[in-house]
Chain A
């Protein structure tokens, strides 16, 4: 009479081993080209800048200091690096506004899609996927062609006589905002749509049956049930928005910098790789803080979203 207890655990252990093996190529690739490098960045942020870019292998906290402070050349006092702070503030502000706007426009859009008939739902999904899978650069270029001074919007307005001179939209924060909302809208719609599609409208019927108004039904039934999608969408928009590169580069010109432009500068003309690294880590920290809020909001939720 052999005890098969060992057999069960043995079989389960062999199974687990096999699964780890199957997952290993994916894990390895991601480690090499996504996660591992992050540690290098962290390390680099504590080194000194080299003369022609790259780093000198000596420990220095200068980079981290420079993130927030600048040293006066003459009397060597520390003061807040206002240029940097402006950029941080612009990035966070624009990312938050983008998230809010995409949510405001995206939720009704997702709701609309989810309440179409079975057949036409496919069509609407198709229609929202096309912009989603169109190159970000092309979409930004399209916005550029519209809002620039010689662009379509201004040309039409002048022709109609509404204004005499072109409105300077390009190279302002507003331009970047328009670009980001345009580009990230599908990213907000899709997860909310996924949530709403699963919504059992009999619950809504129950709400109306119990004397609720449309507004109350929306607030107390639909929105809470769509919450996982809303949160997923917000994360999916906020994270790329705060690290946005193309929109500020193309629509903001060199002047309205966001995080990514500042970072790019350090690896280009600025020749301060440690500072660039420290700035990148700062972005990561902001993102992780946002994610932590998400995790806390969704403590017991399934990991299935997006």
Chain B
């Protein structure tokens, strides 16, 4: 019963997958009981700093590594022990791994030929793929003579050609410069939409994760900390790590008072109270830590919610970051959009008042 429900929704089902090197106390645990379900046609991202286990997990889905315990299912079928060439899953590698002794067309054709498809079918599909990534004019070129962006697209075409059930992308954009990366991000979104294939994308760049994904899994030290849409992850981070890894954050503490329907009143050290969001399961009273995103606070005339003095003002082109030191001692940052050219009017050392948008703050696990 449970299996049919799962296979209807999930392209890839990872169940309590654990990878440990060595045994006992001194074992290095790369993945600690990771459990996640990726849905069909989803653009799913594994996000985390280096060493968090995201690449290890990806490799296990691809078949280049095997878990110490746990299972991996693809559309309901157990593929945990299958070698990579038996899994209908393809990978775009970080360094592209294009075959240097083959042309672009031969690279793209490789998977289809390995599957034994007919020459006509291979030819047609290769042409279709090259059209999809807009590289038809380079079909006969050797891959070593191409730019990074072009090699990327060849790697994509090659991985998509055999129509895999899932496409895995291992930090494919990390070698590209800023502008190219932005272009490729929208390329990838477009490709995923047009082909309808489930994409599992690995990156350490949280901006990339937020802009491209349907859902994100934030990982750290082998554990999955939170799975949710970009909005959920950003506005409702589950814990301190997620909150500080994604975007800029301010951490404040206060005493929790009333608590109903996911909202609560918190008394700040300044004496004022604000309304914050709480996750279900938070205790009804006591001291809590909550986050305030810099764009959810503003400098005001009048008393505001907290008082602070300005440490420094940093200009960013589109925004200005105002670094403050609250009267209660914590560091705090306010982000203002530079709507007018005149710019920000505060200076270092000035005393200011800060107001926090009601309902914007989120309580997190300390």
Chains A and B come from one and the same complex: yes
Contact status A4-B81, CB under 8 Å: yes
- Can you list 25 A-B pairs, Cβ within 8 angstroms, ordered by A? A1-B15, A1-B16, A1-B69, A1-B70, A1-B71, A2-B71, A3-B68, A3-B69, A4-B66, A4-B67, A4-B68, A4-B69, A4-B70, A4-B71, A4-B80, A4-B81, A5-B68, A5-B69, A7-B66, A7-B80, A7-B81, A8-B66, A8-B67, A8-B68, A11-B66
| A5 contact set on B, CB distance < 8 A | 68-69
The size class of the interface chain B forms with chain A is 10 to 19
B residues 82-119 with Cβ under 8 Å of A?
none
User: How far, in angstroms, from A50 to B110 measured CA to CA in the complex?
Assistant: 67
Q: B80: which A residues are within 8 A, CB to CB?
A: 4, 7
Closest to B17 in A: A4
Q: Nearest CB to that of A4 among chain B residues?
A: B67
Residues of B contacting A11 in the complex (Cβ-Cβ under 8 angstroms): 66
Residues of B within 8 Å of A7, CB to CB, are 66, 80-81
Give every chain B residue within 8 A of A8 (Cβ-Cβ). 66-68
A86→B16 CA distance, assembly (Å):
75
Hey, what's the 0/1 contact readout for A177-217 against B, CB within 8 Å counting as 1? 00000000000000000000000000000000000000000
Residues 39-64 of B, flagged 1 when their CB comes within 8 A of A and 0 if not, give 00000000000000000000000000
Assembled-state Cα–Cα distance A176/B237 (Å): 82
Cα A5 to Cα B18 with chains together (Å): 10
Distance between Cα atoms of A5 and B19 in the complex (Å):
9
CB distance from B85 to the nearest CB of A (A): 14
For the complex, give the distance between the alpha carbons of A11 and B16 in Å.
21
The smallest C-beta distance from A285 to any residue of chain B, in angstroms, reads 41
Q: CA–CA, A4 to B71, complex, Å?
A: 8
Shortest CB-to-CB span from A5 to chain B, Å, is 5
Using CB atoms, name the residue of chain B closest to A2: B71
Question: With the chains together, A3 CA to B69 CA distance in Å?
Answer: 5
- Bound: A164/B341 CA distance, A: 102
Q: How far is the CA of A1 from the CA of B17 in the complex (A)?
A: 11
Q: In the docked arrangement, what's the CA distance between A3 and B20, Å?
A: 13
With CB as the reference atom, state the residue of chain A lying closest to B80. Answer: A4
Spell out A's residues near B (CB within 8 Å): 1-5, 7-8, 11
A7–B67 Cα distance when bound, in Å, is 9
Q: Which residues of B contact A4 (CB under 8 A)?
A: 66-71, 80-81
- Distance in Å: Cβ of B145 to nearest Cβ of chain A: 20
Whole-angstrom distance from the CB of B77 to the nearest CB of chain A?
15
Within the assembled complex, what's the spacing in Å between the Cα atoms of A11 and B71? 16
Bound complex: CA A2 to CA B73 (Å): 13
Chain A residues, Cβ within 8 Å of B15 = 1
Q: With the chains together, A5 CA to B81 CA distance in Å?
A: 11
The smallest C-beta distance from B87 to any residue of chain A, in angstroms, reads 15
User: Which among B15, B71, B81 has the greatest number of chain A C-beta atoms within 10 A?
Assistant: B81
Output the nearest chain B residue to A11 by Cβ-Cβ distance.
B66
> A1–B66 Cα gap in the complex (Å)?
15
- Give complex CA distance A79, B16 in Å: 79
Bound complex: CA of A140 vs CA of B349, how far in Å?
Answer: 89
Question: Please, which residue of chain B has its CB at the minimum distance from the CB of A12?
Answer: B66
CB distance from B226 to the nearest CB of A (A): 24
Interface centre among A4, A7, A11 (most CB of B within 10 A): A4
Q: CA A2 – CA B68 in complex, angstroms? A: 10
Shortest beta-carbon distance from B277 to chain A in Å? 37
Nearest first, the 6 A-B pairs at minimum CB distance are: A8-B66, A3-B69, A4-B67, A7-B81, A5-B68, A4-B69
| Interface hits, B1-40 → A, CB 8 Å | 15-16
- Chain B residues contacting A1 (CB-CB under 8 Å) are 15-16, 69-71
Cα A4 to Cα B67 with chains together (Å)? 6
Q: How far is the CB of A221 from chain B (nearest CB, A)?
A: 34
Name which residue of chain A comes closest to B23, CB basis: A5
A178 CB to nearest B CB, Å: 48
Give B70's nearest chain A residue, CB to CB.
A4
CB distance from A175 to the nearest CB of B (A): 52
- When C-beta atoms are compared, the residue in chain B nearest to A8 turns out to be B66
Taken together as a complex, chains A and B put the C-alpha atoms of A1 and B71 apart, in Å, by 7
- Complex CA distance for A4 and B80, rounded to whole angstroms: 8
Q: For residue B64, give the distance in angstroms from its CB to the closest CB of chain A.
A: 12
The distance in angstroms between the C-alpha atoms of A7 and B83, with both chains bound, is 12
B71: A residues at CB distance < 8 A: 1-2, 4
CB distance from A11 to the nearest CB of B (A): 6
> A1-B69, A2-B71, A4-B69 provided; 14 other pairs, C-beta below 8 A?
A1-B70, A3-B68, A3-B69, A4-B67, A4-B70, A4-B71, A5-B68, A5-B69, A7-B66, A7-B80, A7-B81, A8-B66, A8-B67, A11-B66
Contacts of B66 in A (CB 8 A): 4, 7-8, 11
User: CA A83 – CA B70 in complex, angstroms?
Assistant: 74
- Nearest to B71 among chain A residues (CB) is A1
Q: Which residues of A contact B67 (CB under 8 A)?
A: 4, 8
The docked-state distance in angstroms from the alpha carbon of A295 to that of B66 is 37
Q: B235 to nearest A CB, angstroms? A: 35
Closest Cβ–Cβ distance, residue A144 to chain B (whole Å) = 48
Shortest Cβ distance from A3 into B: residue: B69
CB-defined contacts of B81 to chain A, threshold 8 Å: 4, 7
Bound-complex Cα distance A5 to B70 (A): 9
Chain B residues lying within 8 Å of A3, measured Cβ to Cβ, are 68-69
Contacting A at CB under 8 A, from B168-206, are none
* Shortest distance between the CB of A281 and any CB in chain B (Å): 44
Instruction: State A3–B15 Cα separation when bound (angstroms).
Output: 12
Least CB distance from B227 to A in Å reads: 21
- Closest A residue, CB atoms, query B20: A5
Residue of A nearest to B15 (CB): A1
Shortest distance between the CB of A305 and any CB in chain B (Å): 28
Bound Cα distance A96, B69 (Å): 59
Nearest to A5 among chain B residues (CB) is B68
Docked pose: A1 CA to B81 CA in angstroms: 13
User: Across the interface, which residues of A come within 8 angstroms of B70, CB to CB?
Assistant: 1, 4
Chain B nearest CB, measured from A241 CB (Å): 42
Q: Which residue of A lies closest to B72 (CB)?
A: A4
Contacts of B68 in A (CB 8 A): 3-5, 8
